[in-house]
Structure 1
């Protein structure tokens, strides 16, 4: 059965990459959450997507230029008067210990390398004993290989914007157990071949019903969506089939 990962939490209805968005994804019944990790100036792992804080918070500037105590003062819930802080990865892991959800961590190091981020993330995963529930992904495939070398017990999955030829061969070459492609760049036959070669396929970001139907029909490993409620309702149609 295709798993449903809430993209940056239940981001269709709640402020993305906030603890409330993750909690609401859990309440909705998602199988997992997807989130993004960066490093502050003083080395704290924080959960935020953009390299700049401008779009999602009340502040301006690059995440890497903020001290954590200053980043924490920002409101990550611009659409509401209710303030939501930018969470730390530690806080998210503390919450994960209270449930059985999977977690896809995207390392946001394709633009800024964030030296030492892989080691910090892996240390935290091991500290909370979450090795079997975490998938590490990145558009920076050198980082993915580094993660595998540091922690072969943790699943890795490269992210792709463009289509790739025989992605299962590439995945095997870099010891990745999964791929996270842009859904529109990977035809069904390529996805099926990848799945048949033992590589998990979790396309992003699936918000249209037609795209959900397409991926449920081929029994894709997972979909990454902003709206887990919509995805769960549609998936029920496939659960009832023999």
Structure 2
């Protein structure tokens, strides 16, 4: 059965990448959550998607230029003002909470635009500290970073994120020891899924928000989808 990952939590109805959004994903019965990590100026692994705080908080500037204490003062409630103050969480905070759930965790390393020295090591250290190696998937558009993660922690699954159609991506994934492909959904069809499965690779496309897209992905037999609307996806899947 296709697993439903709540993209940045239940980001269609709650402020993305916040604890309230992640908790809503468990409330509606998602199989997993997807979240993004970056490093603060003082080396804390924080959960935020954009390289700047401008879009999702009431602040301005680059994540890398804030200390964690400074970041924590910002309100990340984005377009959902009705939920009051929502601080930017640390990865430690999310995993400490998540350990007590049955969720899978897709941790996307946001290190394509900015090179965060030590991001892989610090993220792996936290996953190991909470003993969650078997419930975590690392993903990134930075495929070199995924190769590094595999080298440092071969027991933790790595997945390649990408936008454009690739030639035989299942062969490319094997060269990086990745165990999953996370493609942009228009590049996926039934043949793609069959070939990936033949090469022992999981397929989890992003970001699937429309009902017809969800139905197509379920019919194509993908292993998981990332969606901003997990409740809707679960209802459709279980029908």
1:223 alignment counterpart: 225
How far, CA to CA, are the matches of 1:109 and 1:134 in structure 2?
Answer: 18
SS at match of 1:156: strand
Instruction: Please give the alpha-carbon distance, in whole angstroms, between the structure 2 residues aligned to 1:14 and 1:112.
Output: 27
How do 1:26-37 and structure 2 match up within 5 A? Answer: 26-37=26-37
Partner residue in 2 for 1:240: none
Q: Kindly report the root-mean-square deviation, in angstroms, between the aligned alpha carbons of the 2 structures.
A: 0.8
Aligned equivalent of 1:177, options 176, 179, 184: 179
**1:174-197 C-alpha deviation (Å, 9 max, x unpaired):** 100101000012333112211232
1:67 alignment partner in structure 2: 67
Could you list the runs of 5+ residues in structure 1 that have no partner in the other structure?
238-242
Distance of 1:4 and 1:168 partners within structure 2 = 22
- Is the aligned partner of 1:25 residue 2:15? no
Q: How far does the alpha carbon of each residue in 1:13-38 deviate from its partner, in whole angstroms, 9 at most, with x for none?
A: 00000000000000000000000000
The CA distance in 2 between the partners of 1:206 and 1:67, in whole Å, is 34
Q: Show the counterpart of 2:142.
A: 140
- TM-score w.r.t. the length of structure 1 is 0.96
Distance 1:171 1:128 in 2: 28
Matches within 5 A, 1:41-120: 41-78=41-78, 79-80=80-81, 82-120=84-122
Match runs of 1:200-239 below 5 Å? 200-237=202-239
Deviation at 1:165, TM superposition (A): 1.1
Aligned partners of 2:89, 2:34: CA distance in 1, in Å?
14
Could you say which residue in structure 1 is the equivalent of 2:168?
166
1:153 aligns with 2:155: yes
Q: 2:198 aligns with which of 190, 196, 201?
A: 196
Aligned equivalents of 2:198, 2:5: Cα separation in 1: 21
Deviation at 1:77, TM superposition (A): 0.4
Shift of 1:147: 0.3
Between 66-75 and 183-192, report the one with greater CA deviation: 183-192
Greater alpha carbon shift after TM alignment, 143-152 vs 191-200: 191-200
* Alpha-carbon offset, residue 71 of structure 1: 0.4
Structure 2 residues not aligned, in runs of 5+:
none
| Deviation string, structure 1 residues 169-218 (Cα, Å, up to 9, x no partner) | 11111100101000012333112211232100000000011111111112
